[in-house]
Structures are given as C-alpha cells and as structure tokens.
Amino acid sequence: MKDLLRVFKYIKPYKSYALLNIMFNILFILFSFLNISLLLPTLNVLFGLSKPVSHQSKLSLNSQSILDNFNYYIGKLTHDYGAFYVLIVVALLFILFSFLNNLFKYLGMYFLAPIRNGMVKDLRNDMYNKLLILPISFYADQKKGDLMSRTTSDINEIEWSVVSTLQMVIKDPLNVIFFLIVLLSISPKLVVLSLITLLPAGFLIGKIGKSLKRNSEKGQRQLGVVIATTEESITGLRIIKAFNAIDYALDKFKKINRIYTKLMTKVYWRKELAAPLTETMAIIGLLIVIWFGGNMVLKNSLSAELLIFFVVIFGRMIPPAQSFITSFYNLQRGAAAAQRIFEIIDAEEKIEEKENAIEKKSFTQNIEYRNVSFQYNEEQTNVKVLDTINLTIAKGKMIALVGPSGGGKSTLVDLLPRFYDCTEGEILIDGIPIKDLVISDIRDLIGIVSQETILFNDTIMNNIAFGMKNISEADVIAAAKVANAHDFITALENGYHTNIGDRGANLSGGQRQRISIARAVLKNPPIMILDEATSALDTESERYVQEALTNLMKNRTSVVIAHRLSTINNADEIVVIENGKIIERGTHLSLIENDGLYNRLIKLQSFTE
C-alpha cells in the first residue's frame, strides 16, 4: 500500500487540477441527486400518488421536512397555475440539471487528464533518470528484458490500473458518501441493515484482492522474462539460425509464454469476480431493505414515498460502489507494478558524489592508483579482481596494460571514471582523491574508445556530437578527419546526416569504430582510455583505426588496453597484469629482456599470427 501512496504523491505538482476535479465531481453528484429528487416527488404529487401538503412546515435537515416543503410548493404551483404548467417547468429544470450534470462530469474528466498523464510522465522520468545514475555494477545482476518490462509494461500498468482509477477513486467515494448521508437522513435502521448484508462481500473482496496482487506481481515478473527472451533472440538471431536452433528457441519461448498466460488468466478471473459479487450482495441487501422497509410502512413508522425514495437512491448507489470495488481490484494490480518500479527508483546509488565536492576542470600532473583493490561482491572477501595495485601515470605519457583475459585490465580503467569505486585504497588525479571530486568533472577529463563500439540509432552527425553542446558541423567534420572517417562518411548518400541504424548496423566494424574515435576527438579530453579498440577488426580496418588512434593520442595522457601487442611497442610504460596483480612493468625492450610473461605473450602472438 505504501508504494501506491508514493504513486499518488506524484499528484502534488498538479494539485490545482486535482482541486478542480474534486469540485466538479461534487457538482456532478449534486445535480445527479437533484434530478432524482426533483422528478420522483413531483410525479407523486401531480398524479395523486401523494397528498399535497396544505401548510408549509419549518424547514430542517430532515428528509421528511424537505419532502413536505417540496410537496407544499409543488401543490401550490399546481393549484395556482395547473398541472401542465408545473410539468413544463419540471421538464425544463430536468433538462437544465441533466445538462449541468453532464457538463460537470466532463469538466471533472477534463481536469483529470493533465493529472493522469503528468503523473505517468514524472514517474517515467524519475525511473529513466535513476537507470542512468545507477552504477554499472547494478546491471550485472539484472536482465535487460526485465528492466525494459519495468519501464514499459509496469509504467503502463500504473497508468491503466492506478492513474486511470483516479476519477473513480475521487468521484465514486464522494458519490457513495453523499447518497449514504441522504439514506441516513431517511432511515438509519435501513442503512445499517443494508450495510450488514454487504460485510461478507467486503471480506471476500479483501481476500481476493490480496491474491490478485500476488499473481499480478508474478505476472509482471514473468512478462520481464518474456521480453528478455525476445530481446536475446533478436540479438542472437544469427547464432540461432546458424545452429539450426529455431525449434529449440521457439519451444523455450512457448514454455515461458505459457507460464505468463496462466498467471494472467488467474489475474483476470479474480478481477472480473468483483462486479458480479458486489451486485449480487447489493441486490440481496436491496430485497432485505424492501422487506424491512415495507413492514415499517405498514406500521406507519415510515412513509411509502420515503421508502420508494430510499430504494431509488440505494439503487443509484450500487453502480458507483461497483465501480469503486473495481478500482480497488485495479489498485491491487497497480500495487504490484508500483513495487517493481520503486525497486529501481529506491536502488542504492553506490557511486555517490560527496557533498561540496571539489570542481576539477583541468589535468596538470598525474594519475595515481594507491594500494587499490577491488571485488564485485564485497561479501566474498577472498575473490579480488584487483589486488593492491600501485601505479602512477604522468601527464602526457602512454601506459599500456597487457595480460591474460580476466586479469583485471578493464576493471582497472573502469575505476578511473568511477564506473565502480575501489573497495580498498584510492585513486588520485593531481593529488586529489577522485571520491572528493565532482563526478561529471572527472568524466569530462576522460575520453573512452572501447572494444564494443556503442553507437545510437541516429545520424552520424549526432553520434559524433553525442552529449556535447554548441557543436558546429565544421567541428564534427574536423574530428572525423582526425579519426580517418571523413572519406567514407562523405561517400554515403546523406553524408553526415545518414542514419546508421540500430547500434550502427548499417556500417562496418571499422567504420563504427572510427565514428567512436571521432566522438572522442571532438570531446578533446586530456586523458584517453583505449580498451582493446582494434581487437575485433580485420587487418585493413585495423590500419585505418590505428592511424586514427595515433592521431587521437597525440599530446594526451593515454591508458591503452592492448590485445595486439605489436601496437604498443612505443608505449612509455607497459604494465603486465595477471590475476589482479601487477607482475611486470617496463618498456617493450626491457620486458623482452626480462623474459617473463610479456615475452611469452609476444612469442605466442607472433606464432599464431
């Protein structure tokens, strides 16, 4: 329930609309009641079903008093002007009240629209913002499809199950309360009797609602599995086809989809049980009211006219009560979705910026790794990805990191822009611990070209200028020339305005990598991280990219993770990492002479090539 209350807190920026919605709903209820109260007594007097009251009684907040005064004025008008005149007046008033009734109903919905859409927009913005802020380590244990499910289907569930019920949550209780007050003014005994008959329905609805929430939550999680499986299949379609695994993939998906279908069937069974259950209990209550009220009329403790009025109002109270019960069921489904959404919004931000962090706009001296250790799971103290790393990188120098796969090279460079925080020791830039610096300033100092080229479904122009402001086309072209990308870009039909497709699917691997390098050139950072930037390329593409990388590293501090060791002969220092520890360091020639792991890797690569 607390998650639902948090959803409703998103109404706060739209409270003026909410007040207008409540006001127009009250007016809608009032004129809806006036239609009933106007028509029934008038017809009773005009057609002699009730005797007109000859003397005006003192008006009080009592149903009988109000009814007597109404009958008195109707009788007087009938006597003075005739029944036909009164019928015309009543008909005109009925038309006016009906028009106002529907107008206020529309205005209530009109002012609900910005609340409903605004709440969903703000919730979606908060969730997307949190997904961007959360550390990369958070995603290690998450399925991409499940996260997509939360940002799409769960948000939609909130919109349809929670926000769309706002009108019913506001209007229907007001409706029920208003009619209940009227019924209490007629006969408290009949009201108590009718409510007693509805208690069993309330108990059953509560039990079913809890079951509905449990199954809804399971269903939403299973939908995440469905989406994840679909996403994985689309990404790995080449492998599925190459290994003739279409039937295998389809059977796996059918099994997952079957579980989801069973869960959602249970949800809908329980959801649809609300309306007939409420209506059945309400009809039983109505019959008891008629039986008990009829006895009261026979004993002259209640007038027949008021009993009829009570039955009509009670009947009008059933639809909003049903609607409110349906809203309750929808809220249970929405509660499950809200819980999943707030699991993301409340996720711990392990990479936090210190209060009053120091601004850092330039790099002047060095980067220092001081006794740095790191492990992904802090509970497993014996599993260290990095173990007591000490490394100083002077400004303007090129440092190469080499070693077997899984040794911790990529983790070492990921600690510098604070994608992760080291679990022991500290990293300093110009003598200042990076945990004391503004995170965005650290990342502004660093450019990254990774093995896995990350491009977006947009134009080449926008991909190169990604995240940067006030960038001209000339700046983009200049960066592309440095990255050896200008020639192939201009050869495309739309040049720099060519859309590259999903993840750059319309380009070759070498072309994608050169656009990534152009993006780093345009950012013009003083520190460059190159994470095996040529490892996935063919020989010709590697030559173009290597030239671009050489241009990129000029006059910069560079940290290069090397796959092909022939590309780092000129590095100022080569650091060999194995099992999270630095086991060798030196220049290319000194490490060859040392005849250690680096020399063995050089010989092995020379042999395989």
Q: What is 396-446 written as a DSSP string?
A: T-EEEEE-STTSSHHHHHHTTTTSS--SEEEEEETTEEGGGB-HHHHHHTE
Say yes or no to pLDDT of 66 above 80. no
Say yes or no to pLDDT of 604 above 90. no
Residue 491, phi then psi, degrees to nearest 5:
-75, -15
Terminal-to-terminal C-alpha distance of the chain: 64
Banded pLDDT at 538 (limits 50, 70, 90): low
Q: What is 116-185 written as a DSSP string?
A: HHHHHHHHHHHHHHHHHHS-GGGGGGS-HHHHHHIIIIIHHHIIIIIGGGHHHHHHHHHHHHHHHHHHHH
Burial 269-303 (b: 16+ CB within 10 A, else e): ebbebbeebbbebbeebbeebbebbeebeeeeebb
Pairs from 262-266 (Cβ < 8 Å, separation ≥ 24): 263/215, 263/218, 263/219, 263/222, 264/219, 266/215
Q: Rank 88-97, 297-306, 553-562 by mean pLDDT and report only the highest.
A: 553-562
- pLDDT at position 268, please? 77
Distance CA(445)–CA(467), nearest Å, equals 14
Distance CA(480)–CA(515), nearest Å, equals 7
Class of domain 2-345: mainly alpha
Distance CA(346)–CA(299), nearest Å, equals 64
**Per-residue model confidence as pLDDT tens digits over 326-373:** 676 677 777 778 888 888 888 887 788 888 899 999 999 999 999 999
Distance CA(504)–CA(507), nearest Å, equals 6
**Per-residue model confidence as pLDDT tens digits over 374-392:** 987 765 556 788 989 999 9
Say yes or no to pLDDT of 535 above 70. no
- In whole angstroms, what separates CA 367 from the centre of its chain? 38
Say yes or no to pLDDT of 94 above 90. no
- pLDDT at position 609, please? 47
Say yes or no to pLDDT of 46 above 60. no
**Per-residue model confidence as pLDDT tens digits over 109-163:** 888 888 888 888 898 898 888 888 887 777 777 777 778 888 888 888 787 776 6
Let me know: does 568 contact 562? Beta carbons within 8 Å.
yes
- pLDDT at position 608, please? 46
CATH topology assigned to domain 365-444+572-609:
Rossmann fold (3.40.50)
Distance CA(367)–CA(387), nearest Å, equals 18
Model-level pTM? Answer: 0.72
56 three-state secondary structure? coil
Q: Where are the domains of the chain?
A: 2-345, 365-444+572-609
Say yes or no to pLDDT of 97 above 50. yes
Banded pLDDT at 314 (limits 50, 70, 90): confident
Higher pLDDT, 361 or 276: 361
DSSP secondary structure code for residue 378 in this structure:
T
Mean pLDDT of 572-599: 89
| Sequence letter at residue 365 | Q
Q: Which residue has the tokens 């004025």?
A: 73
Mean pLDDT of 274-289: 74
* Mean pLDDT score across all residues of the chain: 80
Distance CA(124)–CA(118), nearest Å, equals 10
Return the number of other C-beta atoms located less than 10 Å from residue 546's C-beta.
Answer: 17
- pLDDT at position 31, please? 81
Nearest to 213 by CA among 257, 256, 157: 157
Distance CA(316)–CA(180), nearest Å, equals 11
